[in-house]
C-alpha cells in the first residue's frame, strides 16, 4: 500500500519507514529535515517540504494516490516548548490541521504519533488510556490538541484513525544502521552511551532523592522497533475496518535512571561518568504504561527486545558501527 509518512526522516519515523518497506508497503516521506536525516531514508521516495504549508501534503497525497498518512512531523522538546510555545502550537497543531484536512477530503486512514506527555502528573500507575489528560507543557498540550482535532475531523468526515501514545522510545535498528540523532540530544540512553564512550560530558542526573528504589526517576522504555511494529498493526486494523484506536505504547515496566546507566556500562564495557544536578521543573518520580489496550485493539505487546539490556545493546551496536 502506498502511504505518506510525514517526518519520516526522524528517529521514530525512519524506523517505521523501514518497517513499512519490509512489510511490502510503499512509503513516501515528506520531511523538511529540520530534525531528520536524509541518509536515514536512502532509497525511499522523498520530498522536502513543510507539512504545515497549505497544499504541500495535499499535493503529495494526490500525486502518488496515497492510501494512508502516518504523521510523525513535530517538535518534541518539552523544555523548548515552555520557552517557545508558539513554535510548538504552530508546528504540531498546524501540521495536524493539514493532515486532518487532507484525510477529510480523501477519506484515508491516519496514524498519529502522540505521547504520554498528554497525561501530565500521573494519579495512578501503570497509566491507563482512560487516565485524565492534564499536560504539564505546551508540548503535551499541542499533542492533546492534535488528538482532539483528529478525532473530531474523523468523526465528521468518516475516516479511520489511530492515536499511539509513546512512553520512552529508545534502541536502534541494527540491520538498517538507524539510531537516535537528535540535535541537541536530550534522551537518556544516547547521552549515557556518549558519556561512557568519552565523547561527551558527564551524564547529569536530575535529582537523586526521588521516591524510587535508588533515588532516580523511573521511566518506561520501549524499543523503537517494537514501536514500528505497532504502527504496522495499527495501519492494518484501520484498513481492515476499525474506526478509531487510542493506545499506550510502552514496555509496561519501569526502569530507573541508574538502572539504565548500569545497562550502558555493561554494554560499553566502561563506567558512565555522572554528576548530580537539581530536579527539573515538571519531572515526576515514575511513569509506567498500561499497554492492555494495545494488546486488545492491536494484538501488540512489547517483545523481549524492549528489555533495557537489549535496548542499550542495540543502541551501542549502531553507534559503534557508525564510528
- Grid cell of 223 as nine digits: 524499543
pLDDT at residue 323 in the model: 59
At which residue does the C-alpha cell 529508545 appear? 170
Q: Output the CA torsion sign for 46, 165, 169, 224.
A: negative
Q: Which DSSP letter does residue 185 get?
A: -
Residue 9 sits at the vertex; the CA angle it makes with 44 and 46, to the nearest 5 degrees, is: 35
Domain ranges for the chain, please list them. 2-169+221-249, 171-219+252-322
Scanning the chain, the segments in alpha helix (DSSP H) are 11-22, 56-64, 78-83, 85-88, 94-106, 138-157, 188-197, 224-239, 257-268, 292-298, 308-322
Query: In whole angstroms, what is the distance from residue 68 CA to residue 70 CA?
Result: 7
Number of CB atoms found within 10 A of residue 107's CB: 11
pLDDT at residue 38 in the model: 96
CA-closest candidate to residue 135, choices 93, 101, 98: 93
pLDDT at residue 185 in the model: 87
Number of CB atoms found within 10 A of residue 296's CB: 10
Which phi and psi angles does 103 have, rounded to 5°?
Answer: -65, -35
Same fold, 2-169+221-249 and 171-219+252-322: no
At which residue does the C-alpha cell 504541500 appear? 56
Query: In whole angstroms, what is the distance from residue 217 CA to residue 194 CA?
Result: 20
CATH number of this structure's domain 2-169+221-249, picked from the four choices 2.70.240.10, 3.40.1780.10, 3.40.50.720, 3.30.565.10: 3.40.50.720
SS3 108: coil
DSSP letters, 31-57, are E--SS--GGGGTTS-EEE--TTSTTHH
Taking 50 as the pLDDT cut, the residues of the chain under it are none
CATH number of this structure's domain 171-219+252-322, picked from the four choices 1.10.3720.10, 3.30.70.270, 3.90.25.10, 1.25.60.10: 3.90.25.10
Q: Are 173 and 225 in contact (CB under 8 A)?
A: yes
Of the residues 11, 89, 139, 221, only one is catalytic, namely 139
pLDDT at residue 66 in the model: 98
Strands 168-170 and 161-166: unpaired
166 tagged catalytic: no
pLDDT at residue 184 in the model: 84
Number of CB atoms found within 10 A of residue 261's CB: 24
Amino acid at each position: 500500500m502506498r502511504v505518506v509518512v510525514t517526518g519520516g526522516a526522524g528517529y521514530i519515523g525512519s524506523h517505521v519507514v523501514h518497517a513499512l518497506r519490509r512489510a511490502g508497503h510503499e512509503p513516501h516521506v515528506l520531511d523538511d529535515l529540520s530534525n531528520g536525516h536524509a541518509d536515514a531514508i536512502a532509497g525511499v521516495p522523498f520530498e522536502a517540504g513543510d507539512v504545515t504549508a497549505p497544499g504541500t501534503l495535499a499535493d503529495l497525497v494526490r500525486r502518488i494516490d496515497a492510501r494512508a498518512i502516518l504523521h510523525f512531523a513535530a517538535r518534541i522538546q518539552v523544555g523548548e516548548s515552555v520557552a517557545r510555545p508558539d513554535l510548538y502550537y504552530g508546528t504540531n497543531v498546524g501540521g495536524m490541521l493539514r493532515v486532518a484536512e487532507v484525510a477529510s477530503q480523501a477519506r484515508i486512514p491516519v496514524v498519529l504519533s502522540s505521547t504520554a506527555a498528554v497525561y501530565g502528573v500521573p494519579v495512578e500507575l501503570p497509566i491507563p488510556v482512560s487516565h485524565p489528560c492534564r499536560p504539564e507543557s505546551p508540548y503535551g498540550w499541542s499533542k492533546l490538541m492534535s488528538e482532539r482535532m483528529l478525532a473530531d475531523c474523523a468523526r465528521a468526515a468518516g475516516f479511520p484513525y489511530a492515536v499511539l501514545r509513546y512512553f520512552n522510545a529508545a534502541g536502534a535498528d541494527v540491520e538498517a544502521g538507524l539510531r537516535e540523532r537528535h540535535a541537541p540530544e536530550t534522551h537518556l540512553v544516547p547521552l549515557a552511551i556518549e558519556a561512557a564512550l568519552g565523547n561527551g560530558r558527564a551524564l547529569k542526573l536530575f535529582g537523586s532523592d526521588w521516591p524510587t528504589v535508588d533515588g532516580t526517576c523511573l521511566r518506561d522504555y520501549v524499543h523503537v522497533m517494537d514501536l514500528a511494529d505497532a504502527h504496522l498493526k495499527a495501519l492494518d486494523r484501520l484498513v481492515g475496518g476499525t474506526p478509531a484506536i487510542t493506545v499506550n505504547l510502552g514496555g509496561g515496566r519501569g526502569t530507573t535512571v541508574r538502572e539504565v546507566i548500569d545497562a550502558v556500562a555493561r554494554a560499553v564495557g566502561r563506567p558512565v561518568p555522572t554528576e548530580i544536578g537539581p530536579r527539573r521543573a515538571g519531572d515526576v518520580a515514575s511513569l509506567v504504561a498500561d499497554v492492555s489496550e494495545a494488546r486488545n485493539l492491536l494484538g501488540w505487546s512489547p517483545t523481549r527486545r524492549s528489555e533495557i539490556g537489549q535496548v542499550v545493546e542495540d543502541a551501542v551496536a549502531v553507534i559503534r558501527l557508525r564510528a
